Chain A
Amino acid sequence: MTNKRTGVFVCHCGTNIAATVDVKKVAETMALEGTVAYSADYVYMCSDPGQNAVIQAIKDNQLDSVIVSCCSPNLHEGTFRNNAIRAGINEFTCEIANIREQCSWVHKDRAAATEKAIKIVRSAARRVVRNQSLDSIAIPVTRRALVIGGGIAGIQAALDMANAGLDVVLVEKLATIGGHMLQLSETFPTLDCAQCVLSPKMVEVSRHPKVKLMTYSEVQEVSGSMGNFKVKILKKPTYIDTEACKICDDCSVVCPVVVPNEYDLGLTSRRAIYIPFAQAIPASYVLDENACLGLHPIRCGKCKDVCEVGAINYDMLPQVVTEEFGAIIVATGFDLYPQEKILEYGAGNVPDVLDGLQFERLCSASGATQGHVLRPSDKKEPKEVVFIQCVGSRDPAQHCAYCSKICCMYTAKHAQLYKHHVPDGRAYIFYIDIRSGGKGYEEFVQRTMENDGAVYLRGRVSKLHRTKDGKVRVMGTDTLTGQNVEIDADMVVLALAMQPSKGTEEIAKILKIGRDKDGFLAEAHPKLRPVESVTGGIFLAGAAQGPKDIPETVAQASAAAAKAIILLSQPMLSRSPTIARVRNSHCTGCEMCVDACPYVAIRLENGKAVVNEVLCEGCGACSATCVRAAIEVKNLSLAQVNDMIEAVMTV
């Protein structure tokens, strides 16, 4: 194949590559390759002059294929493939040889790095010899989006997409949308009430003609890919006809079953038939089948007897609906790190030791105590309250290694709220250090110290226990004075770490999107693609991706929505044509590839394998499984890999 005319373009990347790799030598060595008709180096290949030089060289030298040896293909493969098009050759005859991230940045020995760079570039050059000119595959797009999770992130994303004209389905597994934000009393740093901010948005999303709310529902199964996902959604039975329910509360008054109220984190109780809270959306009661005596008039039936509008239906069944979407936004939020795991602070067994969300409910006007801060054990006003930060966070040995980011701020807020409720009380805050980056955040913390007189103690609390007189003795160290500190507090509030919600773990498995080492959803690129998952068409929003506060969550939700809107505003999606192709002469129809294909993209037709080009993702599982070399991936064929190995082994 000596009639091939490949161009090799070696980038210095300033000194990023050139400092460790002898780029001239790479270019000169590549010029000796039989198929290389042009080889050059340049200081910044991706700059405007660099790109123009590539285009000019392709035209001047009648090049039919191009290797750009530079940074990771994730960064500039698109750039240089566009140049190929501008120069009049097929974009798929352009390949990237990564000699920066995978070579110059990780080696110091110039000779060794240069030799490795030559191998990398040579293997790319040998590969491209057999690259075919391919056309992208155009597939239609389903112009609908799915949002999973009905907290502030999901609501914001749904609204943004709906306002852009997309049809949106918002799936929430609880009976009401709103998420954790609804449990908050006030929000930092402005101290505006969470409900006042969120409720209008909840109403807006529920009334939006483009949004279909599916509460009490869960995503069960997802198939398909970017542009065309098929999603099975389970609608759990609420046993209430939402349309008919008049929210009169007669049913819950007669219900004999009393269970802890999740919305108030167990500080209050509810009945088996209940409305999560007064402003729930959809505004309807739900019958908790686990708590109910038996969903049958023989067992109880009191609620059904008393319901005047006949809204209660014990025979309601779970429903599975299948919907199609072009894009998915995952906004499944966080859970607090379980207090049971904090053994040194009583593992949740010491009375009046609360977590942050419980404290929010104590402060909230709609909460357990109608906005009076009263400690749970005896409903007395606590006069000494200890707040402990970083509980479960920044503790790689026992708990979570990461910083939960929002605790410094909400603890400062808690102290302020407490002081506003109990002006003669004393608030102590144990902290490691104060992280208050954000607009108005540092000033907020300063106000907590100066205006509200919260006592900040730098140090960890080693343990706490209940005293005989019903107080909580907190033992810690003030590392600034070196003194041991002992406080007999009336109440303790733990700023527990944020962890990915249980639903996040489940949805990651269903969607096959990666999670990071802490279990949060992994973004496609930590800096450049922070709201995209690694899988095309699936976007991330909110605390499921990492600890963040409300403004950040909203920003990310809007960003994810924008990404989805961009994707779905295209009439057709172009898919990579580097998919599997069958060598009919070798295929025996054994169906091993059919079994191995994760996408059900291969079927047998007249005894031969046939690839569905819309479903095939080009992973190559078929190729590695076939014992007859009868199926392989275009532009990464068996012959090409063989040549690449050969190139890598050539000294």
Chain B
Amino acid sequence: MINLKDIRDTARDMLTKGEVRAVIGWQQGSRGMAAEPVVITAPEQADSLVWNPTCYHNLSLYLVNDKKAQAHSKQKPTLPIAIIAKGCDARSTVVLMQENYFRRDEVYIIGVSCEGTGVVDEHKLAVALQGAQPTAAAFEGEDYVLTLADGSEKRLSAREVMADRCLECREPFPKENNLVLGEDKTGRSLEAPFAALARFEQKSEAERWDFWKHQFERCIRCFACRSVCPMCFCDECVVDSIEMKVVPATTAQEKADRVRWIERSATTADNFGYHMTRAMHLAGRCIDCGECERVCPVNIPLRLLNNKMEREARERFGYEPGASIGASSLVASFRDDDPNAFIR
């Protein structure tokens, strides 16, 4: 069981001693019970940090934002930045370091173990509470304790309302860390990894297409999935054919060579192109934080696509995304015994 005081003390201590220039964590949000990401820079702000089942955001995104701000201001900080990281946050931080987005010594990882549970799925919770509005949520062993608007408390088994990604979590413990709070309960199995994926794959080819056609038709191309994804740190996305980052170094040739692989219009074909491209580009990089799926306003089950790639990587290529800073990326490496039977 993680003591919130330990998180706050750690953050305060590090800021006081000047060991880090900021701490990325969660604080109580302004909407209901939900936490929100926060970057604190002063010791006294440490008391605003929270740790509860609504800490679903992948904070490594804010490491990316921090790096972009540095590039923009052309300033190189001398101190590292600290991040409070769940298992998934830590894994995506590893991928970012694998891709040289920042060095290991630029980041101080305060790991928090999800222990027996994980974060809440607000849709599931709303159903379970039958419309009652919670104002706070807390971990309590294998349960969540929710404070409702009328001040009453309600105890729910966490697994009933937990996010799917947490139920299927492969690694709820942040292995890469400078300091870790909470117990390592890796190996717990609430649901088998890739269980939803396996269920989906029972469908026939026609059913699968009907399903995805429905999804691709609904995508409004708001790019929330891309914006929330720590791996989508490129300044210009390959699927964008409108924006073009023009810097003094950009040559006329480069401008001319923009490729319109996919149009921006939200047609089925172009949405297919967008989501397929995203899945391919996240293969071996996505660590299943599930944020894309959580933020999708039209509820496209994006994790299925990314899970599919992740499971292929694990099962066919023995590749575990986010496991090692020094590893070659999935698609830049190969083994002699990679699958060959599909080739004529």
Contacts and interface: CB of A to CB of B under 8 A. Distances in A.
In their complex, do chains A and B touch, with some C-beta pair under 8 Å?
yes
Interface of A: 1, 130, 132, 583-586, 588-596, 604, 607, 625, 627-629, 632, 637-639, 642
Given A588-B99, A588-B234, A595 B328 contact: yes
B153 interface: no
Nearest to A634: B253
A585 B249 contact: yes
Contacts of B236: 585-586, 628
Interface of A (DSSP majority class):
loop
Interface in B190-248: 233-236, 238, 245-247
Contacts of A625: 329, 331-332
A596 B332 contact: yes
Contacts of B233: 588
A588 B233 CA distance: 9
A642 B99 contact: no
Given A585-B235, A637-B257, 12 more contacts: A132-B253, A583-B257, A585-B245, A585-B246, A585-B249, A590-B100, A591-B100, A592-B99, A592-B331, A627-B238, A629-B238, A638-B259
A642 B332 contact: no
Given A595-B329, A627-B281, A639-B256, A586 B249 contact: no
Contacts of A632: 257
Contacts of A627: 234, 238, 280-281
A627 B100 CA distance: 14
Interface of B: 99-101, 233-236, 238, 245-247, 249-250, 253-254, 256-261, 280-281, 328-329, 331-333
A130 B253 CA distance: 9
B259 A629 contact: yes
A130 B256 CA distance: 9
B99 A591 contact: yes
A407 to B, nearest CB: 36
A638 B257 contact: yes
Nearest to A597: B332
Contact of B329 (A1, A592, A628): A592
B315 to A, nearest CB: 21
A592 B250 CA distance: 22
Closest 4 CB pairs of A and B: A590-B99, A595-B332, A596-B332, A627-B281
B254 A585 contact: yes
B333 A595 contact: yes
Interface centre among A588, A596, A629 (most CB of B within 10 A): A629
Contacts of B253: 132
13 contacts: A132-B253, A584-B249, A585-B246, A586-B236, A586-B245, A590-B100, A591-B99, A592-B332, A627-B238, A627-B281, A628-B234, A628-B238, A639-B256
Nearest to B333: A595
A639 B99 contact: no
A591 B259 CA distance: 22
A629 to B, nearest CB: 5
Contacts of A638: 257, 259
Contacts of A593: 332
A642 B261 contact: yes
B98 to A, nearest CB: 8
A163 to B, nearest CB: 43
A497 B249 CA distance: 64
Contacts of B99: 588, 590-592
A594 B261 CA distance: 24
A583 B246 CA distance: 11
B229 to A, nearest CB: 12
Nearest to A624: B331
Interface centre among A585, A586, A627, A642 (most CB of B within 10 A): A627
B245 to A, nearest CB: 6
Contacts of B249: 584-585
A595 B329 CA distance: 8
Given A607-B100, A627-B281, A583 B332 contact: no
A593 B261 CA distance: 21
Nearest to A1: B256
A586 B235 CA distance: 7
A133 to B, nearest CB: 12
Contacts of B254: 583, 585
A627 B95 CA distance: 14
A197 B250 CA distance: 68
A590 B236 CA distance: 15
